[in-house]
A and B are shown apart, each in its own frame.
Chain A
Amino acid sequence: MKHISSSSYLTAIYLFFYIPILVLIAYSFNNAQYSLVWHGFSMRWYNDLFSDSDLWVAVLHSCILGISAATIAMCIGGLTAISLYRYHFFGRKILYGLIFILILSPDIVMGISLLILFSLLQVTLGFWSLLLAHITFCIPFVVVTVYSRIVSFDEYIFEAAKDLGAKDSVILTRIILPLLWPALFSGWLLSFTLSIDDVIISYFVAGPDFEILPLKIYSMVRLGVKPEINALCAVTFGLTLTLIVISQVILRKKP
Protein backbone atom coordinates (compact mmCIF):
# COMPACT_ATOMS: atom_id res chain seq x y z
CA MET A 1 0.00 0.00 0.00
CA LYS A 2 2.77 2.40 1.01
CA HIS A 3 4.73 1.38 -2.04
CA ILE A 4 1.83 2.10 -4.37
CA SER A 5 1.15 5.54 -2.93
CA SER A 6 4.79 6.59 -3.09
CA SER A 7 5.28 5.40 -6.64
CA SER A 8 2.11 7.13 -7.77
CA TYR A 9 3.35 10.31 -6.13
CA LEU A 10 6.65 10.03 -7.99
CA THR A 11 4.77 9.42 -11.23
CA ALA A 12 2.59 12.47 -10.70
CA ILE A 13 5.58 14.78 -10.19
CA TYR A 14 7.44 13.32 -13.17
CA LEU A 15 4.32 13.80 -15.29
CA PHE A 16 4.22 17.42 -14.14
CA PHE A 17 7.82 17.80 -15.31
CA TYR A 18 7.51 16.01 -18.62
CA ILE A 19 3.97 16.42 -19.96
CA PRO A 20 4.36 20.08 -21.01
CA ILE A 21 7.57 19.27 -22.89
CA LEU A 22 6.12 16.14 -24.49
CA VAL A 23 3.01 18.06 -25.55
CA LEU A 24 5.18 20.64 -27.29
CA ILE A 25 7.12 17.90 -29.03
CA ALA A 26 3.91 16.23 -30.18
CA TYR A 27 2.56 19.50 -31.57
CA SER A 28 5.79 20.19 -33.38
CA PHE A 29 4.58 17.56 -35.85
CA ASN A 30 1.07 18.97 -36.13
CA ASN A 31 0.10 20.48 -39.44
CA ALA A 32 -1.70 23.50 -37.96
CA GLN A 33 -0.64 26.83 -36.60
CA TYR A 34 -2.95 27.49 -33.67
CA SER A 35 -5.22 24.55 -33.23
CA LEU A 36 -4.72 21.87 -30.64
CA VAL A 37 -6.66 19.48 -32.81
CA TRP A 38 -4.56 17.05 -34.81
CA HIS A 39 -4.38 18.15 -38.45
CA GLY A 40 -2.06 15.46 -39.66
CA PHE A 41 1.65 14.80 -39.51
CA SER A 42 3.90 17.47 -40.94
CA MET A 43 7.51 18.47 -40.85
CA ARG A 44 6.84 22.03 -41.94
CA TRP A 45 7.78 23.59 -38.60
CA TYR A 46 11.12 21.85 -38.77
CA ASN A 47 11.56 23.27 -42.25
CA ASP A 48 10.77 26.72 -40.90
CA LEU A 49 13.15 26.20 -38.02
CA PHE A 50 16.08 25.05 -40.11
CA SER A 51 15.60 27.78 -42.70
CA ASP A 52 15.41 30.54 -40.08
CA SER A 53 18.91 31.90 -40.60
CA ASP A 54 18.59 34.55 -37.83
CA LEU A 55 18.01 31.79 -35.34
CA TRP A 56 21.11 29.87 -36.39
CA VAL A 57 23.22 32.99 -36.22
CA ALA A 58 21.96 33.40 -32.65
CA VAL A 59 22.83 29.77 -31.90
CA LEU A 60 26.35 30.32 -33.26
CA HIS A 61 26.74 33.52 -31.21
CA SER A 62 25.56 31.74 -28.08
CA CYS A 63 28.04 28.92 -28.62
CA ILE A 64 30.97 31.30 -29.17
CA LEU A 65 29.96 33.28 -26.11
CA GLY A 66 29.40 30.19 -23.96
CA ILE A 67 32.68 28.54 -24.92
CA SER A 68 34.77 31.68 -24.40
CA ALA A 69 33.06 32.66 -21.14
CA ALA A 70 33.29 29.11 -19.75
CA THR A 71 36.97 28.77 -20.68
CA ILE A 72 38.04 32.09 -19.17
CA ALA A 73 35.87 31.55 -16.09
CA MET A 74 37.41 28.09 -15.69
CA CYS A 75 40.95 29.53 -15.73
CA ILE A 76 40.26 32.39 -13.34
CA GLY A 77 37.96 30.37 -11.09
CA GLY A 78 40.37 27.43 -11.02
CA LEU A 79 43.33 29.61 -10.05
CA THR A 80 41.21 31.29 -7.38
CA ALA A 81 40.13 27.97 -5.87
CA ILE A 82 43.74 26.75 -5.82
CA SER A 83 44.93 29.98 -4.19
CA LEU A 84 42.14 29.86 -1.61
CA TYR A 85 43.25 26.37 -0.68
CA ARG A 86 47.03 26.71 -0.82
CA TYR A 87 47.86 30.20 0.32
CA HIS A 88 47.12 32.13 3.41
CA PHE A 89 46.87 35.74 2.49
CA PHE A 90 45.34 38.93 3.71
CA GLY A 91 41.64 39.08 2.84
CA ARG A 92 41.22 35.36 2.21
CA LYS A 93 37.98 35.24 4.19
CA ILE A 94 36.71 38.37 2.47
CA LEU A 95 37.39 36.83 -0.94
CA TYR A 96 35.59 33.68 0.10
CA GLY A 97 32.63 35.67 1.39
CA LEU A 98 32.52 37.80 -1.74
CA ILE A 99 32.26 34.72 -3.94
CA PHE A 100 29.50 33.34 -1.73
CA ILE A 101 27.60 36.64 -1.98
CA LEU A 102 28.07 36.73 -5.75
CA ILE A 103 26.35 33.35 -6.08
CA LEU A 104 23.37 34.50 -4.06
CA SER A 105 23.08 37.99 -5.47
CA PRO A 106 20.00 38.22 -7.68
CA ASP A 107 20.68 38.08 -11.41
CA ILE A 108 18.69 41.19 -12.08
CA VAL A 109 20.79 43.31 -9.73
CA MET A 110 23.94 42.01 -11.41
CA GLY A 111 22.43 42.80 -14.80
CA ILE A 112 21.55 46.41 -14.04
CA SER A 113 24.79 47.09 -12.18
CA LEU A 114 26.83 45.88 -15.14
CA LEU A 115 24.62 47.92 -17.46
CA ILE A 116 25.42 51.05 -15.45
CA LEU A 117 29.14 50.17 -15.43
CA PHE A 118 29.26 49.60 -19.18
CA SER A 119 27.37 52.76 -19.98
CA LEU A 120 29.69 54.81 -17.77
CA LEU A 121 32.78 53.24 -19.33
CA GLN A 122 31.11 53.65 -22.73
CA VAL A 123 31.52 49.98 -23.61
CA THR A 124 29.33 49.26 -26.62
CA LEU A 125 26.74 46.68 -25.71
CA GLY A 126 27.44 43.56 -27.72
CA PHE A 127 29.82 40.64 -27.63
CA TRP A 128 32.35 42.14 -25.22
CA SER A 129 29.83 43.35 -22.66
CA LEU A 130 28.10 39.96 -22.77
CA LEU A 131 31.41 38.14 -22.41
CA LEU A 132 32.51 40.19 -19.39
CA ALA A 133 29.12 39.72 -17.74
CA HIS A 134 28.99 35.99 -18.37
CA ILE A 135 32.53 35.44 -17.06
CA THR A 136 31.58 37.37 -13.93
CA PHE A 137 28.57 35.24 -13.09
CA CYS A 138 30.34 31.98 -13.99
CA ILE A 139 33.51 32.48 -11.90
CA PRO A 140 31.89 31.86 -8.47
CA PHE A 141 30.36 28.57 -9.65
CA VAL A 142 33.72 27.36 -10.95
CA VAL A 143 35.43 28.38 -7.68
CA VAL A 144 32.87 26.45 -5.64
CA THR A 145 33.00 23.34 -7.83
CA VAL A 146 36.81 23.22 -7.88
CA TYR A 147 37.24 24.19 -4.24
CA SER A 148 34.90 21.47 -2.98
CA ARG A 149 37.02 18.97 -4.90
CA ILE A 150 40.41 20.31 -3.84
CA VAL A 151 39.63 20.15 -0.11
CA SER A 152 39.19 16.40 -0.48
CA PHE A 153 42.84 16.04 -1.54
CA ASP A 154 45.46 14.56 0.72
CA GLU A 155 47.51 17.50 1.97
CA TYR A 156 50.61 15.35 2.30
CA ILE A 157 50.96 15.14 -1.47
CA PHE A 158 51.79 18.82 -1.59
CA GLU A 159 54.11 18.61 1.38
CA ALA A 160 55.94 15.64 -0.10
CA ALA A 161 56.37 17.50 -3.37
CA LYS A 162 57.65 20.55 -1.55
CA ASP A 163 60.12 18.48 0.50
CA LEU A 164 61.41 16.96 -2.68
CA GLY A 165 62.12 20.43 -3.95
CA ALA A 166 59.24 21.12 -6.31
CA LYS A 167 58.51 24.74 -7.07
CA ASP A 168 54.98 26.11 -6.96
CA SER A 169 54.70 26.04 -10.71
CA VAL A 170 55.79 22.39 -10.80
CA ILE A 171 53.32 21.46 -8.07
CA LEU A 172 50.62 23.20 -10.07
CA THR A 173 51.35 21.58 -13.42
CA ARG A 174 52.46 18.13 -12.26
CA ILE A 175 50.21 17.51 -9.26
CA ILE A 176 47.26 19.86 -8.92
CA LEU A 177 46.12 20.12 -12.53
CA PRO A 178 46.20 16.37 -13.32
CA LEU A 179 44.22 15.63 -10.16
CA LEU A 180 41.88 18.52 -10.67
CA TRP A 181 40.91 18.31 -14.27
CA PRO A 182 37.58 16.48 -13.71
CA ALA A 183 36.51 19.28 -11.35
CA LEU A 184 37.74 21.92 -13.79
CA PHE A 185 35.81 20.23 -16.56
CA SER A 186 32.60 20.09 -14.55
CA GLY A 187 33.11 23.76 -13.68
CA TRP A 188 33.49 24.47 -17.39
CA LEU A 189 30.36 22.51 -18.24
CA LEU A 190 28.34 24.23 -15.54
CA SER A 191 29.53 27.63 -16.79
CA PHE A 192 28.66 26.76 -20.37
CA THR A 193 25.16 25.65 -19.34
CA LEU A 194 24.63 28.79 -17.27
CA SER A 195 25.87 30.99 -20.07
CA ILE A 196 23.77 29.42 -22.79
CA ASP A 197 20.58 29.54 -20.70
CA ASP A 198 20.98 32.98 -19.14
CA VAL A 199 18.18 35.39 -19.95
CA ILE A 200 18.09 37.93 -17.16
CA ILE A 201 21.65 39.28 -17.13
CA SER A 202 22.04 39.07 -20.90
CA TYR A 203 18.81 40.98 -21.35
CA PHE A 204 20.43 44.07 -19.86
CA VAL A 205 23.89 43.89 -21.37
CA ALA A 206 23.13 42.61 -24.89
CA GLY A 207 23.22 44.89 -27.87
CA PRO A 208 21.37 44.81 -31.20
CA ASP A 209 24.42 43.68 -33.17
CA PHE A 210 25.02 40.46 -31.32
CA GLU A 211 21.84 38.45 -30.84
CA ILE A 212 22.10 35.35 -28.67
CA LEU A 213 19.81 32.34 -28.51
CA PRO A 214 17.95 32.94 -25.20
CA LEU A 215 17.09 36.50 -26.16
CA LYS A 216 16.08 35.39 -29.66
CA ILE A 217 13.76 32.78 -28.13
CA TYR A 218 12.40 35.40 -25.75
CA SER A 219 11.50 37.73 -28.59
CA MET A 220 9.89 34.84 -30.50
CA VAL A 221 7.88 33.67 -27.51
CA ARG A 222 6.65 37.15 -26.65
CA LEU A 223 5.03 37.45 -30.04
CA GLY A 224 2.63 34.64 -29.21
CA VAL A 225 2.15 31.12 -30.42
CA LYS A 226 4.92 29.99 -32.74
CA PRO A 227 5.02 26.35 -33.79
CA GLU A 228 8.69 26.85 -34.64
CA ILE A 229 9.36 26.97 -30.91
CA ASN A 230 7.76 23.52 -30.58
CA ALA A 231 10.21 22.19 -33.14
CA LEU A 232 13.10 23.92 -31.36
CA CYS A 233 11.97 22.32 -28.09
CA ALA A 234 11.95 18.89 -29.72
CA VAL A 235 15.42 19.45 -31.18
CA THR A 236 17.00 20.59 -27.87
CA PHE A 237 15.27 17.82 -25.94
CA GLY A 238 16.48 15.22 -28.43
CA LEU A 239 19.99 16.66 -28.29
CA THR A 240 20.00 16.53 -24.47
CA LEU A 241 18.88 12.91 -24.45
CA THR A 242 21.54 11.96 -26.99
CA LEU A 243 24.29 13.67 -24.98
CA ILE A 244 23.12 11.97 -21.79
CA VAL A 245 23.07 8.54 -23.40
CA ILE A 246 26.56 9.11 -24.84
CA SER A 247 27.96 10.29 -21.51
CA GLN A 248 26.39 7.34 -19.72
CA VAL A 249 27.96 4.93 -22.18
CA ILE A 250 31.38 6.57 -21.73
CA LEU A 251 31.04 6.50 -17.94
CA ARG A 252 30.01 2.85 -17.99
CA LYS A 253 33.09 1.86 -19.95
CA LYS A 254 35.41 3.45 -17.43
CA PRO A 255 35.77 1.37 -14.28
Chain B
Amino acid sequence: MKHHDGILKFFSLSIIWLWLVIFALLPFCLVTLASFASHDDIHLLSFPVTFANFQELNNSIYVKIFKQSFYIAGICTLICLLLGYPFAYIIARMQSRYKSLFTLLIVIPFWTSSLIRTYSMITMLKPKGVISSILMALGIIDKPLSLLFTDTAVMIGLVYNLLPFMILPLLTNIERLDNRLVDAARDLGANRFTTFRKIILPLTMPGILSGCILVFLPAMTIFYIPDLLGGSKSILLGNLIQNQFLIAQNWPLGSAISVVFTLMLAILLFIYWRSTGKKEHREFL
Protein backbone atom coordinates (compact mmCIF):
# COMPACT_ATOMS: atom_id res chain seq x y z
CA MET B 1 0.00 0.00 0.00
CA LYS B 2 2.72 2.42 1.02
CA HIS B 3 4.62 1.45 -2.09
CA HIS B 4 1.62 2.31 -4.24
CA ASP B 5 1.33 5.76 -2.69
CA GLY B 6 4.94 6.49 -3.41
CA ILE B 7 4.47 6.01 -7.13
CA LEU B 8 2.06 8.90 -7.57
CA LYS B 9 4.26 11.25 -5.59
CA PHE B 10 7.37 10.12 -7.43
CA PHE B 11 5.62 10.45 -10.78
CA SER B 12 4.31 14.02 -10.25
CA LEU B 13 7.49 15.31 -8.72
CA SER B 14 9.77 13.82 -11.33
CA ILE B 15 7.68 15.22 -14.19
CA ILE B 16 7.68 18.77 -12.88
CA TRP B 17 11.33 18.71 -11.89
CA LEU B 18 12.40 17.27 -15.22
CA TRP B 19 10.31 19.82 -17.06
CA LEU B 20 11.61 22.78 -15.11
CA VAL B 21 15.22 21.62 -15.32
CA ILE B 22 15.11 20.95 -19.06
CA PHE B 23 12.94 23.87 -20.19
CA ALA B 24 13.66 26.56 -17.61
CA LEU B 25 16.95 26.08 -15.77
CA LEU B 26 19.01 24.55 -18.56
CA PRO B 27 17.98 27.18 -21.14
CA PHE B 28 18.80 29.95 -18.73
CA CYS B 29 22.23 28.44 -18.04
CA LEU B 30 22.71 28.24 -21.80
CA VAL B 31 21.95 31.96 -22.18
CA THR B 32 24.48 32.73 -19.49
CA LEU B 33 27.05 30.51 -21.23
CA ALA B 34 26.24 32.04 -24.60
CA SER B 35 26.87 35.51 -23.24
CA PHE B 36 30.51 34.51 -22.79
CA ALA B 37 30.81 32.97 -26.24
CA SER B 38 32.37 34.76 -29.15
CA HIS B 39 30.65 35.71 -32.36
CA ASP B 40 31.67 34.87 -35.88
CA ASP B 41 29.86 34.76 -39.19
CA ILE B 42 29.72 31.01 -39.64
CA HIS B 43 28.68 29.78 -36.21
CA LEU B 44 25.98 31.38 -34.15
CA LEU B 45 27.96 30.61 -31.03
CA SER B 46 31.60 29.71 -30.80
CA PHE B 47 34.30 29.53 -28.21
CA PRO B 48 36.85 30.63 -26.73
CA VAL B 49 35.20 32.19 -23.76
CA THR B 50 35.41 35.95 -23.70
CA PHE B 51 34.19 38.98 -21.81
CA ALA B 52 34.03 41.00 -25.00
CA ASN B 53 30.22 41.01 -25.10
CA PHE B 54 29.97 42.62 -21.71
CA GLN B 55 32.67 45.11 -22.60
CA GLU B 56 30.75 45.99 -25.73
CA LEU B 57 27.72 46.79 -23.58
CA ASN B 58 29.71 49.67 -22.15
CA ASN B 59 29.33 51.30 -25.53
CA SER B 60 27.34 54.52 -25.22
CA ILE B 61 24.63 53.31 -27.63
CA TYR B 62 23.73 50.35 -25.44
CA VAL B 63 23.96 52.33 -22.21
CA LYS B 64 21.60 54.84 -23.78
CA ILE B 65 19.09 52.14 -24.75
CA PHE B 66 19.19 50.67 -21.23
CA LYS B 67 18.58 54.12 -19.73
CA GLN B 68 15.84 54.94 -22.22
CA SER B 69 14.08 51.61 -21.55
CA PHE B 70 14.10 52.07 -17.81
CA TYR B 71 12.97 55.68 -18.25
CA ILE B 72 10.07 54.89 -20.61
CA ALA B 73 8.97 51.86 -18.57
CA GLY B 74 9.19 53.95 -15.40
CA ILE B 75 7.11 56.81 -16.79
CA CYS B 76 4.62 54.32 -18.21
CA THR B 77 4.30 52.65 -14.79
CA LEU B 78 3.80 56.03 -13.14
CA ILE B 79 1.08 57.05 -15.61
CA CYS B 80 -0.66 53.70 -15.16
CA LEU B 81 -0.54 54.12 -11.40
CA LEU B 82 -1.89 57.69 -11.49
CA LEU B 83 -4.67 56.74 -13.92
CA GLY B 84 -5.39 53.33 -12.42
CA TYR B 85 -5.43 54.04 -8.71
CA PRO B 86 -8.44 56.42 -8.63
CA PHE B 87 -10.20 54.18 -11.13
CA ALA B 88 -9.67 51.03 -9.06
CA TYR B 89 -10.60 52.95 -5.91
CA ILE B 90 -13.91 54.20 -7.29
CA ILE B 91 -14.89 50.73 -8.56
CA ALA B 92 -13.75 48.94 -5.40
CA ARG B 93 -15.78 51.22 -3.11
CA MET B 94 -18.79 51.23 -5.39
CA GLN B 95 -22.08 50.14 -3.81
CA SER B 96 -23.81 49.48 -7.12
CA ARG B 97 -25.17 46.09 -8.06
CA TYR B 98 -23.44 46.49 -11.40
CA LYS B 99 -20.03 46.40 -9.78
CA SER B 100 -19.11 43.03 -11.30
CA LEU B 101 -20.17 44.33 -14.69
CA PHE B 102 -17.79 47.27 -14.30
CA THR B 103 -14.99 44.85 -13.44
CA LEU B 104 -15.84 42.69 -16.44
CA LEU B 105 -15.70 45.76 -18.68
CA ILE B 106 -12.02 46.23 -17.78
CA VAL B 107 -11.17 42.70 -18.86
CA ILE B 108 -13.14 42.53 -22.13
CA PRO B 109 -10.67 44.49 -24.31
CA PHE B 110 -8.01 42.08 -23.06
CA TRP B 111 -9.47 39.24 -25.06
CA THR B 112 -8.88 41.06 -28.29
CA SER B 113 -5.33 40.34 -29.44
CA SER B 114 -2.87 42.84 -28.00
CA LEU B 115 -1.46 43.28 -31.50
CA ILE B 116 -4.83 44.36 -32.81
CA ARG B 117 -5.19 46.78 -29.92
CA THR B 118 -1.77 48.20 -30.74
CA TYR B 119 -2.79 48.46 -34.37
CA SER B 120 -5.90 50.36 -33.31
CA MET B 121 -3.59 52.97 -31.84
CA ILE B 122 -2.13 53.55 -35.31
CA THR B 123 -5.61 54.48 -36.54
CA MET B 124 -6.01 56.84 -33.63
CA LEU B 125 -2.61 58.52 -33.81
CA LYS B 126 -1.70 58.76 -37.49
CA PRO B 127 -1.56 62.22 -39.12
CA LYS B 128 -5.02 61.93 -40.65
CA GLY B 129 -6.18 59.69 -37.82
CA VAL B 130 -8.99 60.10 -35.33
CA ILE B 131 -7.27 62.27 -32.73
CA SER B 132 -5.73 64.61 -35.26
CA SER B 133 -9.02 64.97 -37.14
CA ILE B 134 -10.98 65.72 -33.98
CA LEU B 135 -8.47 68.31 -32.83
CA MET B 136 -8.56 69.93 -36.26
CA ALA B 137 -12.34 69.97 -36.34
CA LEU B 138 -12.34 71.63 -32.94
CA GLY B 139 -9.89 74.20 -34.26
CA ILE B 140 -7.25 73.42 -31.63
CA ILE B 141 -4.64 72.68 -34.27
CA ASP B 142 -4.59 73.91 -37.84
CA LYS B 143 -2.48 71.26 -39.57
CA PRO B 144 -2.49 67.48 -39.12
CA LEU B 145 -0.73 66.43 -35.96
CA SER B 146 1.56 63.46 -36.30
CA LEU B 147 1.89 61.57 -33.07
CA LEU B 148 2.71 58.30 -34.75
CA PHE B 149 6.34 57.13 -34.77
CA THR B 150 7.29 59.12 -31.69
CA ASP B 151 8.14 58.16 -28.12
CA THR B 152 4.80 59.63 -27.07
CA ALA B 153 3.03 57.12 -29.29
CA VAL B 154 5.03 54.28 -27.74
CA MET B 155 4.09 55.54 -24.30
CA ILE B 156 0.38 55.78 -25.17
CA GLY B 157 0.50 52.29 -26.68
CA LEU B 158 2.18 50.86 -23.59
CA VAL B 159 -0.28 52.50 -21.21
CA TYR B 160 -3.19 51.34 -23.34
CA ASN B 161 -1.97 47.75 -23.28
CA LEU B 162 -0.79 47.58 -19.69
CA LEU B 163 -3.25 49.70 -17.69
CA PRO B 164 -5.49 46.71 -16.81
CA PHE B 165 -2.47 44.97 -15.24
CA MET B 166 -2.27 47.90 -12.84
CA ILE B 167 -5.99 48.17 -12.17
CA LEU B 168 -6.74 44.51 -11.39
CA PRO B 169 -4.30 43.92 -8.49
CA LEU B 170 -5.24 47.34 -7.07
CA LEU B 171 -8.90 46.45 -7.29
CA THR B 172 -8.51 43.21 -5.30
CA ASN B 173 -6.37 45.00 -2.76
CA ILE B 174 -8.65 47.99 -2.23
CA GLU B 175 -11.71 45.75 -2.00
CA ARG B 176 -10.19 44.05 1.02
CA LEU B 177 -9.53 47.37 2.73
CA ASP B 178 -11.42 47.51 6.03
CA ASN B 179 -13.85 50.41 5.86
CA ARG B 180 -13.92 50.73 9.62
CA LEU B 181 -10.29 51.87 9.64
CA VAL B 182 -11.12 54.70 7.27
CA ASP B 183 -14.18 55.67 9.33
CA ALA B 184 -12.15 55.55 12.53
CA ALA B 185 -9.53 57.87 11.08
CA ARG B 186 -12.20 60.33 9.98
CA ASP B 187 -13.93 60.16 13.38
CA LEU B 188 -10.67 60.91 15.08
CA GLY B 189 -10.42 64.11 13.08
CA ALA B 190 -8.12 63.22 10.23
CA ASN B 191 -8.91 65.07 7.04
CA ARG B 192 -9.24 63.30 3.68
CA PHE B 193 -5.63 63.80 2.74
CA THR B 194 -4.26 62.51 6.05
CA THR B 195 -6.60 59.50 5.97
CA PHE B 196 -5.36 58.67 2.52
CA ARG B 197 -1.70 59.14 3.36
CA LYS B 198 -1.70 57.39 6.73
CA ILE B 199 -4.34 54.68 6.33
CA ILE B 200 -5.35 53.92 2.76
CA LEU B 201 -1.98 54.26 1.07
CA PRO B 202 0.01 51.97 3.42
CA LEU B 203 -2.74 49.36 3.41
CA THR B 204 -2.92 49.27 -0.38
CA MET B 205 0.86 49.25 -0.83
CA PRO B 206 0.99 45.53 -1.74
CA GLY B 207 -1.50 46.16 -4.57
CA ILE B 208 0.46 49.19 -5.77
CA LEU B 209 3.71 47.23 -5.79
CA SER B 210 2.31 44.20 -7.62
CA GLY B 211 0.62 46.47 -10.15
CA CYS B 212 3.86 48.34 -10.73
CA ILE B 213 5.78 45.09 -11.24
CA LEU B 214 3.17 43.77 -13.66
CA VAL B 215 3.40 46.96 -15.72
CA PHE B 216 7.10 47.71 -15.45
CA LEU B 217 8.42 44.28 -16.45
CA PRO B 218 6.53 43.88 -19.74
CA ALA B 219 6.89 47.57 -20.63
CA MET B 220 10.59 47.10 -21.33
CA THR B 221 10.27 43.96 -23.39
CA ILE B 222 7.07 44.14 -25.47
CA PHE B 223 9.06 44.72 -28.60
CA TYR B 224 6.10 44.93 -30.95
CA ILE B 225 4.75 48.17 -29.46
CA PRO B 226 7.85 50.30 -30.20
CA ASP B 227 8.17 48.38 -33.45
CA LEU B 228 4.67 49.36 -34.63
CA LEU B 229 4.21 52.77 -33.00
CA GLY B 230 7.70 54.09 -32.46
CA GLY B 231 10.12 55.78 -34.78
CA SER B 232 13.54 54.57 -35.74
CA LYS B 233 14.90 56.02 -32.51
CA SER B 234 12.45 54.39 -30.13
CA ILE B 235 14.40 51.24 -29.50
CA LEU B 236 13.77 49.58 -26.18
CA LEU B 237 15.56 46.62 -24.66
CA GLY B 238 13.09 44.16 -26.14
CA ASN B 239 13.80 45.43 -29.65
CA LEU B 240 17.53 45.38 -29.04
CA ILE B 241 17.51 41.74 -27.93
CA GLN B 242 15.17 40.71 -30.73
CA ASN B 243 17.42 42.50 -33.21
CA GLN B 244 20.58 40.82 -32.01
CA PHE B 245 18.98 37.39 -32.20
CA LEU B 246 17.00 37.47 -35.41
CA ILE B 247 18.46 40.22 -37.57
CA ALA B 248 22.08 40.89 -36.60
CA GLN B 249 22.42 37.18 -35.71
CA ASN B 250 24.78 38.12 -32.90
CA TRP B 251 23.56 35.67 -30.27
CA PRO B 252 26.39 36.20 -27.78
CA LEU B 253 25.73 39.94 -27.58
CA GLY B 254 21.97 39.38 -27.38
CA SER B 255 22.54 36.89 -24.56
CA ALA B 256 24.80 39.30 -22.71
CA ILE B 257 22.14 42.01 -22.91
CA SER B 258 19.53 39.58 -21.55
CA VAL B 259 21.78 38.48 -18.72
CA VAL B 260 22.48 42.05 -17.62
CA PHE B 261 18.79 42.92 -17.93
CA THR B 262 17.72 39.86 -15.91
CA LEU B 263 20.25 40.68 -13.19
CA MET B 264 18.88 44.23 -12.94
CA LEU B 265 15.33 42.92 -12.64
CA ALA B 266 16.44 40.35 -10.07
CA ILE B 267 17.92 43.13 -7.93
CA LEU B 268 14.70 45.18 -8.23
CA LEU B 269 12.56 42.18 -7.31
CA PHE B 270 14.82 41.31 -4.42
CA ILE B 271 14.41 44.82 -3.02
CA TYR B 272 10.64 44.49 -3.45
CA TRP B 273 10.63 41.11 -1.75
CA ARG B 274 12.73 42.30 1.17
CA SER B 275 10.60 45.39 1.68
CA THR B 276 7.28 43.55 1.79
CA GLY B 277 8.25 40.39 3.63
CA LYS B 278 7.09 36.88 3.07
CA LYS B 279 3.39 37.33 3.64
CA GLU B 280 2.73 39.75 0.81
CA HIS B 281 5.07 37.78 -1.37
CA ARG B 282 2.65 34.91 -1.14
CA GLU B 283 -0.34 37.14 -1.56
CA PHE B 284 1.08 38.33 -4.83
CA LEU B 285 0.90 34.79 -6.13
Contacts and interface: CB of A to CB of B under 8 A. Distances in A.
A50 interface: no
Nearest to A165: B1
A122 interface: no
Interface in B121-170: 121-124, 128-130, 133, 160, 163
A125 B190 CA distance: 62
A164 interface: no
B261 A106 contact: yes
Nearest to B116: A233
A199 B117 CA distance: 13
B221 A106 contact: yes
A110 B121 CA distance: 28
A80 B108 contact: no
Q: Which of A14, A95, A109, A200 neighbours the largest number of chain B CB atoms within 10 Å of its CB? A: A109
A53 interface: no
Nearest to A203: B242
B12 interface: yes
- What's the dominant secondary structure at chain B's contact region? helix
Given A79-B16, A114-B23, A203-B242, A218 B224 contact: yes
A95 B17 CA distance: 8
A222 B227 contact: yes
Nearest to B133: A36
Contacts of B52: none
Contact of A167 (B4, B104, B163): B4
A112 B254 contact: yes
A167 B1 contact: yes
B8 A200 contact: no
Contact of A20 (B13, B24, B123): B123
Contact of B117 (A21, A76, A110): A21
B280 to A, nearest CB: 13
A109 B258 contact: yes
Nearest to B164: A17
Contact of A199 (B24, B123, B224): B224
Contacts, number: 207
Nearest to A218: B115
Given A24-B123, A232-B116, A112 B9 contact: no
B258 A108 contact: yes
Contacts of B86: 6, 9
A153 to B, nearest CB: 17
Contacts of B17: 91, 95
Interface of A: 6, 9-10, 13-14, 16-21, 23-24, 27, 36, 76, 79-80, 82-83, 87, 89, 91, 95, 98-100, 102-110, 112-117, 119-120, 132-133, 135-136, 139, 144, 147-148, 167-169, 172, 193, 197, 199-200, 203-204, 213-214, 217-218, 221-222, 225, 229, 232-233, 236-237, 240-241, 244
17 contacts: A9-B86, A10-B91, A10-B102, A13-B83, A13-B87, A16-B160, A20-B117, A24-B120, A104-B265, A108-B223, A108-B238, A109-B31, A167-B1, A218-B224, A233-B112, A236-B116, A244-B104
Given A117-B23, A136-B24, 18 more contacts: A16-B163, A20-B123, A80-B12, A82-B12, A95-B20, A98-B25, A102-B24, A106-B217, A106-B261, A110-B27, A112-B31, A133-B23, A168-B8, A200-B238, A214-B115, A217-B116, A221-B116, A236-B111
